[in-house]
Structure 1
Amino acid sequence: MKGKLLNKIRDKELTVGVVGLGYVGLPLAVEKAKAGFKTIGFDVQEEKVNLVNEGHNYIGDVVDSDLKGLVENGMFRATSDFGFIKDVDFVAICVPTPLDKHQQPDISYVRSSTEAISKHLTKETMVVLESTTYPGTTEELVRPILEKGSGLKCGEDFYLGFSPERVDPGNLIYKTKNTPKVVGGIGKDATEVIAAMYRTVLDGDVAEVSSPAIAEMEKILENTYRNINIGLINELAILCDRMGISIWEVIDAAKTKPYGFQAFYPGPGLGGHCIPLDPYYLSWKAREYGFHTSMIESSMMINDKMPEYCVDRAARILNRFEKSLKGSKVLVVGVAYKQDIDDYRESPALEVIEVLKGSGAVVEYYDPWVTEYKYHGQKTKGLTEITPEQIESYDLLMITAAHSNVDYEMLQKHAKAVFDTKNVMKYVMERENIEVL
C-alpha cells in the first residue's frame, strides 16, 4: 500500500477530499488543487458548497481568481454528499472544535464527520485530522469510528494521522502554502506517506513525529505558550496601571534585549479560533490523569477577565467627566479579533460590548472589516461610517482592534475621551483625551 500511494502522489493521480470548507479547509483545498490534485470539498452547509461551485470566495486568505479558475477548469468542486468519499484517496478533516457551555471540548463535529467518512471509506485511503483537539483524539476517537464504520483495519487497509492546522488569518507572510507542517501517523508507513503528500503540495518544511499524540500535543503547546505569555502581560498591565507605569513602555524597553525575550502585548482579552480555546482542551484531558494544569488555568482566568477589567477602566474614565457608565454613549471601534481581518470568532470585543450593555451603557460599534456580527444567537449591525459629528456625540470611544484603515487622528480630534486598549493611537500627537490600557 505504501509504495502504491507514494507512486500516486508522485504522479499526482490522487483525488483529495477536504471536509470542512472554513478558514482552514478552504485554503488547504485550494492549495491541493493548485498542486495538481483533483479536489473535492465536503461541507454540511449548502451555502458554502454553492459559493464554491459558483467560484465565489469567502475566505480572506484565498485568492479569488485562484478559486474561480480551479472551479472552472474542473480541479475543485464542493458537495454536501459524503458518498463521494469513496472517490478520494486522501481526506483531511478540517472541522471546528469549539468549547461547549461548560468550557469542555465539543468534538461533535469531528465525531460526525468521521462517522460520515467511515461509511464510504475505501482501501488505500489516507485520512488526516487537522482540527485542533486534545492529545489522543486521533487514536482514541477517530480510529475506532473509521474501523467500525468501514470494516477496514488501520495500518493495513488505510492510513491515519494527525497534522495540526496552522492558520493565521491576515498574516501577510505565512499562508497555508509556505507554513511548515507537523505530521504524526499511526505507524511509520502512515507518517511517511502522509508527509509525502504534504511535501508535494506545500512549500514549508514537513516535520515527522512518532505518533498522532505528539502532533496533537505540539499544537496545544503552540497556543498554550501564547495564552500563558499573554496572560502574564495582561496581569502586568493591571499591576502597572495601579503603579502608574506604562506597560507599553516597559515592553518596548524589554524588547531591546536581543535574546531571551519575546514581546507579547496586553489587550481586552483573547480571540480567534485557537488561543482562547486550546488550553481548555489540555486542562480537560489532564484531569483524566489526575493532573491539575495550574499555570495554564491561571492564565486563562486572567485573559477571560480582561473584558470586564476594560469596562471597569472605561467607567473610571467616565467618572472623571462626572458621568456614570449607565446611560453613557459608548462607541466600540473594532470587533474583529485581530488587525485587518473580518474574523470575529471569540473576539473579546464582543464580550466587552455585552458587559457595557449589561452596565447600562448605550453601545454602538464601528469596524470597517465587520459590518455585522452574530453573538449568542443575536445579530448586531455596526455603523457603516463614522463622521466627526457622530464622534462628538459619544461620551467615550473604546478602541478594541488595531485596524490600519481607521483615521485615529480624526477620532482623537473629535472624541470627548478615548480608551485605547490596543495602543494603536501611539503615534497620535495630541493625547490629552487618550488613556491607554
Structure 2
Amino acid sequence: MEFDKIYDGLIDGREKLALVGLGYVGMPIAVEFAKHVKVIGFDINETRVNEYKNGIDSTNEIGDNIKNTTVDFTADPARLKEAKFIIVAVPTPVNDDNSPNLRPVKGACRMVGKNLTSGTIVVFESTVYPGVTEDICIPIIERESGLKCGVDWKIGYSPERINPGDYIHRLPTIVKVVSGMDEESSREIKKVYDIVIKAGTFPVSNIKTAEAVKVVENSQRDINIAFMNEIAIICDKLGIDTDEVLAGMNTKWNALGFKPGLVGGHCIGVDPYYLTNAAEKLGYHSQIILNGRQVNDSMGAFVADAAIKEMIEAGLAPKKATVVILGLTFKENCPDTRNSKVVDIINRLKEFDITPVVTDSWADPFVAEQEYGVELVAWQDIPKADCVIVAVGHSEYRAMSMMQIKELFKAETADEEKVLVDVKSLYRMDELRASRMRFWRL
C-alpha cells in the first residue's frame, strides 16, 4: 500500500479527508482543512449536520465562516469509504464513577471499520489514556473491516488542543503533537497536519506517548488550579481577599498566574481521571492528581455554602430567598455546557430547599434541560433577587456597573441585605465596598 502518497493525493484533489465527529473539536478541524483539501464532515447527529448545511454553527467556534466552507457535511457513514485520511474527534466523557466512558470512541471505531478501505490512515484526536488507540481501537476496526492494521491500513494519534471560546489560540496557531504506528505513517500524518498547522507539528516516537501528552498537560493545569482553590478556601477562613493575595504573589517573576475557579469542561475536569485510571490498571494509585480532582470537584458546593452563609448573616431566610445565578456554561463567552460545575452550585442549593433561577444567553436551553434538568430563564424574565451569584465571566456580566447589578435586586431591600457572590472576581474591590452590598468572592 502506498500510504506515503496520501498527502500528495489530498493536495492535488484525488483523495479526500474525513472528519468523524463535528463538535467543538471536529468542526474547526474540518473547516480549516477544507480551505486546502476536499473534506467530508461526518456526524451521527442529523440535526447538527442539517444545521451546518444551513449555515448554522451551534458551537459558535466557526460562526459565519460556516456559510462559506466547502466541507461536505453528511450523516451517512458510507461516505467515509471515499476518504483515505480519517480523523476521529468524538467525545470522551467519564461515567458517574469517574471511570473513562469509551462508548463514543468504540462506536466511532465500529463505524470507521465498517466503511474502511485499503490504503487509509486513521488518526484519533479524542482524549484517551495511553494504550486505548492500539489496544482497543485497532481490534475493533480490524474486526469490523476485515483489514489488517499495518498492512491494509495504518493508525496514528494526535491529541486535540482546541480551546472552546478562545479566539486567539486557534487550530492553526497551536503546536500539534503527532504520532503514527510506524515511521511511514508518522511522516505522512505530520505532512497532512502541516497543511493547516502554521505553528508547526511536534512528532513523538509512538502513539502511547502522544496519548500521554494530552492527559498529562491537562492534569498539570488541574493540579495547579486545585492548589489555587485550596488557597481560596484558606483565605476565606482567614478573612482576606484571595485576589489581592494572588495579585501580590504574581509580582514575582516565577509566579505561574493560575487562579481559583470552577473546573469543568470536556478536558481539564475529565482528563485527569483518564490518566489515573491508566495508572491504577498498572498498580499505581495517584497521590496528587486525584486529591486535586477532589478539591476541584468540591468547589461548587463551597460556593453554594458561602452564598447561604452570606444570606444568613445578611438576615435573610435562605429557603425563602430568591437566588439568581448568572451563567451556566463551563467557561466565559462560550456556549459549551459540558461538565459545567455551575450545576454543582445549583444542586448544593437544592439540598437546602433553595431552587435558584438560572439565566445564560450563551447556553442552549434545550441542552440545559436535557443534560441537567435546568430551566434557563431569559434575562428579561428573571425575578428581582435577594442573592445574585455571578458564576461565569461572560463579557456582558463583566461589563455591568454596580448600579446595574443593584437593579437585579429587590428594590425594597437595603443595600447591606443584598448578597452578591462574585465567583470569578469580576468586579473591583473598591467598587464592591462602595456599593455597600454584602459581597463574597472566591
CA separation in 1, counterparts of 2:327 and 2:339?
Answer: 13
One-letter amino acid of the structure 1 residue matched with residue 24 of structure 2: Y
One-letter amino acid of the structure 2 residue matched with residue 42 of structure 1: F
CA separation in 2, counterparts of 1:374 and 1:194?
Answer: 38
In structure 1, stretches of 5+ residues that fail to align are none
One-letter amino acid of the structure 2 residue matched with residue 174 of structure 1: H
1:256/1:386 Cα in 2 relative to 1: closer, same or farther (>3 Å)?
farther
Corresponding residue of 2:379: 385
Corresponding residue of 1:321: 314
Corresponding residue of 1:307: 300
- Helix, strand or coil at the partner of 2:379: coil
Corresponding residue of 1:11: 12
- Helix, strand or coil at the partner of 2:320: coil
Q: How far is 1:60 from its partner? A: 1.4
TM-score (norm 1): 0.93
CA separation in 2, counterparts of 1:428 and 1:174?
Answer: 33
| 1:11-410 mapped onto 2 (5 Å cutoff) | 11-35=12-36, 37-64=37-64, 66-70=65-69, 75-259=70-254, 261-267=255-261, 269-370=262-363, 372=365, 373-374=367-368, 377=371, 379-386=373-380, 393-406=384-397, 407-410=400-403
Runs of 4+ in 1 over 6 A off after TM superposition: none
Q: How far is 1:375 from its partner? A: 5.5
Tell me how large the CA RMSD over aligned residues is. Answer: 1.8
CA separation in 2, counterparts of 1:356 and 1:198?
Answer: 47
CA separation in 2, counterparts of 1:120 and 1:371?
Answer: 33
Q: How far is 1:321 from its partner? A: 2.0
One-letter amino acid of the structure 1 residue matched with residue 39 of structure 2: T
CA separation in 1, counterparts of 2:401 and 2:329?
Answer: 17
Q: How far is 1:376 from its partner? A: 6.5
CA separation in 1, counterparts of 2:66 and 2:359?
Answer: 30
1:170/1:427 Cα in 2 relative to 1: closer, same or farther (>3 Å)?
farther
1:124/1:428 Cα in 2 relative to 1: closer, same or farther (>3 Å)?
farther
1:413/1:51 Cα in 2 relative to 1: closer, same or farther (>3 Å)?
closer
Q: How far is 1:335 from its partner? A: 1.2
8 Å CA contact retained: 1:366, 1:386? no
Q: Aligned residue pairs: how many?
A: 426
Q: Deviations over 1:120-176 (max 9, x none)?
A: 211111100000111111110111122222222222222210111111111121112
Q: How far is 1:428 from its partner? A: 6.3
TM-score (norm 2): 0.92
CA separation in 2, counterparts of 1:370 and 1:10?
Answer: 38
8 Å CA contact retained: 1:400, 1:421? yes
Corresponding residue of 1:435: 440
CA separation in 2, counterparts of 1:50 and 1:9?
Answer: 26
8 Å CA contact retained: 1:164, 1:182? yes
1:427/1:108 Cα in 2 relative to 1: closer, same or farther (>3 Å)?
same
Q: How far is 1:13 from its partner? A: 3.2
- Helix, strand or coil at the partner of 1:302: helix
1:8/1:329 Cα in 2 relative to 1: closer, same or farther (>3 Å)?
same
CA separation in 2, counterparts of 1:358 and 1:293?
Answer: 31
CA separation in 2, counterparts of 1:168 and 1:365?
Answer: 25
One-letter amino acid of the structure 2 residue matched with residue 278 of structure 1: D
Q: Deviations over 1:383-426 (max 9, x none)?
A: 32259xx67x3111111111111224234434411011110112
1:155/1:328 Cα in 2 relative to 1: closer, same or farther (>3 Å)?
same
- Residue identity over aligned pairs, in percent, reads 33
- Helix, strand or coil at the partner of 2:356: strand
8 Å CA contact retained: 2:358, 2:374? no
1:83/1:33 Cα in 2 relative to 1: closer, same or farther (>3 Å)?
same
One-letter amino acid of the structure 1 residue matched with residue 61 of structure 2: D
CA separation in 2, counterparts of 1:435 and 1:408?
Answer: 17
8 Å CA contact retained: 1:128, 1:160? yes
One-letter amino acid of the structure 1 residue matched with residue 288 of structure 2: M
* Residue range with higher mean Cα deviation, 411-420 or 378-387: 378-387
1:146/1:202 Cα in 2 relative to 1: closer, same or farther (>3 Å)?
same
8 Å CA contact retained: 1:161, 1:184? yes
- Helix, strand or coil at the partner of 1:362: coil
Q: How far is 1:313 from its partner? A: 0.7
8 Å CA contact retained: 2:323, 2:387? yes
CA separation in 2, counterparts of 1:230 and 1:417?
Answer: 26
CA separation in 2, counterparts of 1:232 and 1:384?
Answer: 36
- Helix, strand or coil at the partner of 1:326: helix
Q: Deviations over 1:192-229 (max 9, x none)?
A: 10110000122221000011111110000111011101
- Helix, strand or coil at the partner of 2:34: helix
One-letter amino acid of the structure 1 residue matched with residue 256 of structure 2: Q
In structure 2, stretches of 5+ residues that fail to align are 410-417
